[in-house]
Amino acid sequence: MEEIPLEVQTRNVLKKQKVKSLRRENLIPGVLYGGKRKPVTIQVDRKLFERIRRQHHGEIVFSLSVHDGGKSPARYHAMVREEQHHPVTDKILHVDFIRISLTEKIEAHVPIEAKGEAVGVKRDGGSLEHLLWEMTVSCLPTNIPQKIQVDISGLEINQVIHIKDIQLPEGVVAQHEPDVIVLSVVPPHREEITPAAEAEEGPGEPEVIKEKKPAEEAAGTEEEKSEKQAE
């Protein structure tokens, strides 16, 4: 993985109102920590940082130069651990960097990309379900893939691709259970259509036969006797 150079400045502004003023000056407040060293509050040029994020997708290894007044800049390898975004504008409000060693393995999150068109979709009308969009891997920082491509062209209906089916670059190990499903092709959805006539008419109402009460039965018997006498 390519190392991206980035120059940052130490920051003494900590109060909330003054931090807001930094953002108005197109600076992003942040912090650099880890690596058995004390955390350092920093500020990053917004335009520069956002341009790097647009050009390089996924995890990025930064070669940070931390300037502190007239001193010689301290240099570290670092990665972004967390970004805070505005809930409406999605503008970056704060960024956390963590120091790393290029000789020690770390965990990283790598996007998964489906390559090709599944035969079960193209030929049989099925649907592709992309269930896992990002894979957590363990490797050296210099071995982090930009993305993981998965060839789905041979995937038929009811077939799936698991974590264990994906071949990763040498030195890269998935941090998921082997049987986790990444992609699958499901059959086309078919709706049962009820005939219009049945839908309009609805089910027939059953004939209701009422049981005669004892008084009604007695009355009926007397009427039958009278009819016989009249005959």
Separation between Cα atoms, residue 48 and residue 41, nearest integer Å? 18
Q: Which two tokens stand for residue 144?
A: 């982090």
pTM greater than the 0.85 cutoff: no
Separation between Cα atoms, residue 3 and residue 22, nearest integer Å? 27
Q: What is the phi/psi pair of residue 61, to 5°? A: -95, 115
The domains found in the chain, sorted by start residue, are 3-100 (2.40.240.10), 107-186 (2.170.120.20)
In the DSSP assignment, the letter for residue 71 is S
Per-position pLDDT tens, the chain of length 231? 778 999 999 988 767 767 888 888 999 999 999 988 999 999 999 999 999 999 987 889 999 999 998 789 999 999 999 999 999 999 999 999 999 999 999 999 999 999 999 999 999 999 999 999 999 999 999 999 999 999 999 999 999 999 999 999 999 999 999 999 999 999 998 765 555 545 555 555 555 555 555 555 555 555 554 445 444
Question: H/E element holding 122?
Answer: helix 119-122
